[in-house]
Amino acid sequence: MEIKVYLYVFFTFMSIFIFNGVNFDPIMKKGRVIEAKILVLALSFGLSYLLTNFVLDFVG
């Protein structure tokens, strides 16, 4: 259980770092900075969930 928490945190920070390099301007309305940040956060949580479960299933 402890390793799962560390993997969630690691993959969340990693995916936030990755998604910050993506230009969301073409799909977001102008001036919607808060919504873009919430989108990055939601995508990061989703990706970290998927990556953590993949790694735990692959290794274990």
Domain that includes residue 32, residue range:
2-59
Exposure of 4 in the CB half-sphere (CA atoms within 13 A): 8
| Average of per-residue pLDDT values in the chain | 92
> What pLDDT, on the 0 to 100 scale, is given for residue 60?
75
pLDDT in tens, 2-31: 899 999 999 999 999 999 998 888 888 898
Number of domains in the chain: 1
Exposure of 30 in the CB half-sphere (CA atoms within 13 A): 0
Question: What's the pTM value of the predicted model, to 2 decimals?
Answer: 0.84
Residue 33 pLDDT level (bands cut at 50, 70, 90): confident
> What pLDDT, on the 0 to 100 scale, is given for residue 17?
94
With beta carbons less than 8 A apart as the criterion, state whether 48 and 12 touch: yes
